[in-house]
Amino acid sequence: MKKVAIIMGSDSDLPVLKPAVKMLAELEIPFDVRVMSAHRTPAEAADFARNARAEGYGVIIAAAGKAAHLAGALAAQTILPVIGVPVKSSTLDGLDALLSTVQMPGGIPVATVAIDGAQNAALLAAQMLALSDGELADKLLVHRQKQHDSVTAKDAKIDISAILAE
């Protein structure tokens, strides 16, 4: 199975990425977590992206806040799918990172999830890998069924009379 790379621009982004780490582990997808900066370690980031495919990666998740150039900088160096996770910062509540991540020039796509949407980034990476991995596709179907069952169980517990009695 191909691996997923989770790259963050700063170690302060790790709390945002924990849901992605947990989801990939739950789905038994191999992954690595690294800190690289589009601005402070551009050569290392570019080198990683250029070699990621040969190193067995199938998807890169890139998280960054503020200017959020990391996803685009990595995408410019690889043909692997790159999923950007805009990170909320104190500046503009993450809108700056969202707009920076989603506004890639034609020819260099970056898939973008919600601000702090690491769990969805992991699920999207899993769906990409599942295109050629039937076992992983089955795991995703089980995950979806668990979500379905959780919601229907909550629906069954709604008691209107208890709400009205409050």
Q: What is the pLDDT of residues 87-123, one digit of tens each?
A: 998 779 999 999 999 999 999 999 999 999 999 999 9
Q: What is the mean pLDDT of residues 56-72?
A: 96
Q: What is the mean pLDDT of residues 70-99?
A: 95
What pLDDT does 14 receive? 97
Q: φ and ψ at 84, to 5 degrees?
A: -90, 135
Q: pLDDT-based confidence at 85, cuts 50/70/90? A: very high
For the stretch 10-58, pLDDT in tens is: 999 999 999 999 999 999 999 999 999 999 999 999 999 999 999 999 9
d(CA 86, CA 109): 15
Residue 128 contacts residue 61 (beta carbons within 8 Å): no
What pLDDT does 166 receive? 82
What pLDDT does 102 receive? 94
What pLDDT does 162 receive? 82
* Domains of the chain with bracketed CATH: 3-133 (3.40.50.1970)
**Interior CA angle at 124 toward 60 and 71, to 5°?**
35
What pLDDT does 44 receive? 98
- pTM confidence score: 0.94
For the stretch 129-163, pLDDT in tens is: 999 999 999 999 999 999 999 999 999 999 888 88
Instruction: Concatenate the DSSP letters of all residues of 55-79 into one string.
Output: TTEEEEEEEEETT--HHHHHHTT-S
